[in-house]
Amino acid sequence: MKLLKPTYGSIVLALVFALFILPIGSFASNTDSINQNLNAEHPSNKCISNYPIFERSFLTGSLDSVTEIGLRSISFCDINSEEELYIISDILGTLTFNGLHDIVKQTSDRLNDQIEDDNLRLIFYATIIEYQILYNLDDRSNYYWDKANKLVPYVTDENALGMYYFVMGNKNLHSGNYISALKSYSLALSFKNVNEETKFNIKSQLVSVSILISDYDKAEQLLTDLIRIARKNEDFRSVLYCYFDKMDILQETFKYEQLVSTCHKALSMHSTYDVDECIGYTYYMMGEGHLSLSNLDSAYYYFKMGIEVSMKNNEFKELKDNYKGMAKYYQANAEYDNARIFYQKALDEKTYVDQTNNAGISKALSDLRALQGDYKNSYLELEKYLNNQKVNNKSDLRLATKIVEDAHAYKQQAKLRIIEKERQKTLLQQILFGSIAMLLLVSVLFYFLNKNRKKHRVLNTQISARNKELGILINKYNDTISYLENFAYVTAHDLKAPIQTATSFAGLLSKYSADKFDDKELNLLESIDLSIGKLTKMIDDLLFLSKLDVDLASQEIIDLNQILGDVKISLNTLLIKSKAKIIVESKLPFVTGHRSLIAQLFSNIIENSINHNTTKRHAVIKISSKEREDGWQIISIEDASGGIPRYMIPKLFDLFSYFGDEVNNGIGLATCKKIVKLHDGDIWADIADGIGSTIKFTLPASASNRD
């Protein structure tokens, strides 16, 4: 579960109370008294003193009255006062939550024209974006985000810049770009004059990012600092939220005894400081800790308490978690029907922020049905969920892929189960009919055997003749292939002579007559030289490809780490010029093959990745390996060049297949394919449009990997 942290202030609590606690019937009855109080305010106390009146109206008024009072309260505020600016933002955040997007946009555009200082204007945009990110409105936040980005170069106030980068971190975190979020938060903290509240919120979000990227040591260091600051400020609600993050860390690192101890501390804070918020989550984590320690009775008690208190406090996200915990308890006790009931309750419980954890619950419910042998409903459960699921990030995509794989497996198991049942049902009938069929077959077999003997002789004669014809065709085919290879070699070799002559003449012309040419003529001469160079490179590549499998030495055991070192040396000039980096993510294995060909294979792919880099960044090439179940090694060479379009996949490794650039001649990857095929391997590409590509190929492993 992802908890809402103090970052968003008391407005979140007001939203929860307004939606789930107060009875609908009381809305209209209090509206008149609120309006009277609002109108009675003295103009000198316009904004700050009337903000609590707006909060009360949210708790007791209808949506129309809340909107009216909110807009009137904004009219009392000075948009050029930072303190009152935050009040305006909170009111607009409340209207955003209620879906009044057009009103929020019109009001914010009008107020924007009244802001005199760019620093305040950036803070105003950042706070609006923060609320829209909170309520999953990324498509609407982009409108304000573009405005904020254009404003940043003109802002000098460090507090405003810190707020901007803090919200940028929230945006990256919400979209699953954890590394970018980490950079944004770190940049926000680098500004010295950022106010203490914002610093605390930034560090709190850094904890969340550290947990998501599994940097638990960093997260615990930050939590220790945050708890110290919160206790010093007597902000016990923030201390409690720090405990929540610590619970997540302890659960992820399997420290269940410490998890139970931390939950006891949190329960003590709930009681001592009368903080009821999210107490259901504390009970849930306590139950998870005891369940992992096999203390099933204790786990049941805390999940039960979590359900009761979450219902009482109308904390629906916590209720969802405790339903899920109770389902795990029943599953651990092999009470699968009760487990299924509580998993379904967790799925049916709707929360007002998000339902991303529904994926895990649906998966658990489907696995439970499969455990009971109900493969049909297990498959239907997964298929139904997947049809309704909106995949927003890489994590969701990985889960959706796993669901498809499992669904297919369940469907196959269900088919096998039906087949087995039908087989057992009709076994006796099959034996009976089989015996009858056998008698009939034996009766007619002798008759047809003698009759068809002559036909078999004729067929054998025809087959023998066809085999001879086929042998002749195969010999002609092999002769043709050999002729074409020799033709390609001789043609390419003979072409080099006139090309070398042209190169020499162009060099002499450049050397002795360069002072007689103007700039345009010199450029033409240089173009001739470059074209001749490309033609020479193409001929050399064709020669290499045509004689690739001729007079090959016997295969040997090859250390791919040494091969990569040799390739780096051979490509040193290109690497320095392009400033490209080659990163080996894991030690490469030993394989069996031809050393020179495998070196050429790595060289062609790496050079292709560097030459097709269409981004403004320097190329970064990541190389890794993985052993397949059959012992073959899968080598992956990944780049983020954004250069190869997806439509090229079917013909990427074909000869002369390229897509309009001036660097590639369409031979390099075709050569790679032939090298891999000579080693009985496969080669393919995974391409993400506009992002990059990963070339993967298989090579036979060597026994040296096990030494």
Least confident range of 8-12, 273-277, 562-566, 586-590? 8-12
Query: DSSP letter string over 216-233?
Result: HHHHHHHHHHHHHHHHHT
CA distance 404 to 382: 8
Contacts for 619 with CB less than 8 Å, ≥ 6 apart? 578, 579, 580, 581, 609, 610, 613, 639, 640, 641
Convert 303-328 into a string of H (helix), E (strand) and C (coil): HHHHHHHHHHHCCHHHHHHHHHHHHH
Mean pLDDT of 249-254: 89
Domain ranges of the chain: 447-547, 556-706
655, 667 Cβ separation under 8 angstroms = yes
Q: Which residues of 90-120 are buried (b: 16+ CB within 10 A; e: fewer)?
A: bbbbbbbbbebeebbbebbeebeeebeebbb
Please give the C-alpha separations between residue 17 and each of 12, 95, 305, in angstroms, as whole numbers.
9, 15, 21
- Asked whether 236 and 273 are in contact (CB, 8 A), the reply is yes
CA–CA distance, 161 with 172 (Å, rounded to integer): 16
For 170-218, the pLDDT digits (tens) are 888 877 788 888 888 888 888 888 888 888 888 888 888 888 888 888 8
Q: What is the CA radius of gyration of the chain?
A: 36
> What digits encode the pLDDT tens for the residues 289-307?
999 999 999 999 999 999 9
592: phi then psi, degrees, rounded to nearest 5: -110, 125
Three-state SS across 194-211?
A: CCHHHHHHHHHHHHHHHH
Tokens, residue 127? 């706070």
pLDDT at 106 over 60: yes
- Look up tokens 């009760």; give the residue: 338
Provide the CATH number for the domain formed by 556-706 in this structure.
Answer: 3.30.565.10
Question: Would you state the pLDDT for residue 78?
Answer: 82
DSSP 560-571: HHHHHHHHHHHT
Q: Which top CATH class is 447-547? A: mainly alpha
Please give the pLDDT value at position 116.
Answer: 84
Phi-psi region of 93 (alpha: psi -120 to 50; beta: other; left: phi over 0): alpha
Highest mean pLDDT among 115-119, 549-553, 636-640: 636-640
Strand ranges in 389-468 using DSSP code E only, listed in sequence order: none
Query: CA-to-CA distance for 109 and 121, rounded, in angstroms?
Result: 11
Q: Are 366 and 381 in contact (CB under 8 A)?
A: yes
Q: How confident is the model at residue 464 (pLDDT cuts 50, 70, 90)?
A: confident
H or E element in which residue 86 lies: helix 82-97
Angle between helices 256-272 and 279-292 (to 10 degrees): 160
* pLDDT at site 364: 80
